[in-house]
Structure 1
Amino acid sequence: MSDNKAVIPPYVNAAMKFILRSPLHGMVSETITVITFTGRKSGKTYSTPVSYSQKGNQVIIFTDGRWSKNLIGGAPVRLRIRGKDYSGWADLVADDKELMANMLVEHLNVVRRDAQYYNVTFDEAGNPRMDEISRAVDHVVMIRVTLK
């Protein structure tokens, strides 16, 4: 990705985790969740706040974070969504660029502020620009969580 990509400072992630686990979660929990997973090599439990979009029992997350490698081949995860804890199964999607592009468009239509993290802008009609979406999916992975 280009060097002008927005980066979230670690103190913001720490504050988000605190807020999402508190009674104040309603300020941000419509589109931000905490995903908790186990490190493949370390066996340690990790939690990180991420933007998400949801349709029924499917939660979609996009990231370029290295932590996503822990989900290769599928893995159990926990999500904190709108103040409630859920268990689910996370599948990492990195090779199906067409699916990723379609889902990123849907995600950005729900969570428009995320466009800055993928260097995507919107056209005059308010739609994400497809050429920028195509470039973005070359640098991210999609995590599809099926909630139990």
Structure 2
Amino acid sequence: MLLFFALPAYSAIESDDFTDESKRLRFYQLTRELRCPKCQNQDIADSNAPIAADLRREIRRLLDEGQSNEQITAHMVSRYGEFVRYKPALNRHTWLLWFGPALLLLLGSAVLGALIIRRKPAPPQSTALSAAEQARLTALLKGTTDA
């Protein structure tokens, strides 16, 4: 149990001493918004991969140079591609990513609606027996088969 609670002490972000609190917050925000190219489903703040450490150092260097968050993100995207962003920009290459789930939901709703509309109601089934069927049933229950 103690080991479980000690895990946050081994976080991947290096303990850099920032001279400015706003830089520290920007660093934290940027490392949460960018994906590790090796881990693929982890941000670079949580990744222990060597490339994530390199990216954190690169972000720190760019922050020290005075670049804005947009410039830093653009630099990372130009170097690693749009994949490095958790929230890719809306453009002609990513429109399906943004609108694909809504399109699938609409398409599924249309197909379901069409199936419901086209479904024919089942014909009513009669539970009453004809006179001949009733006579045969009575004969079967009595044990005779002369009907």
Structure 2 length as normaliser, TM-score? 0.23
Higher RCO (CA < 8 A, seq sep 6+):
1
> If each structure's helix is expressed as a fraction of its own residues, which one has the higher value?
2
> If each structure's strand is expressed as a fraction of its own residues, which one has the higher value?
1
Structure 1 length as normaliser, TM-score? 0.23
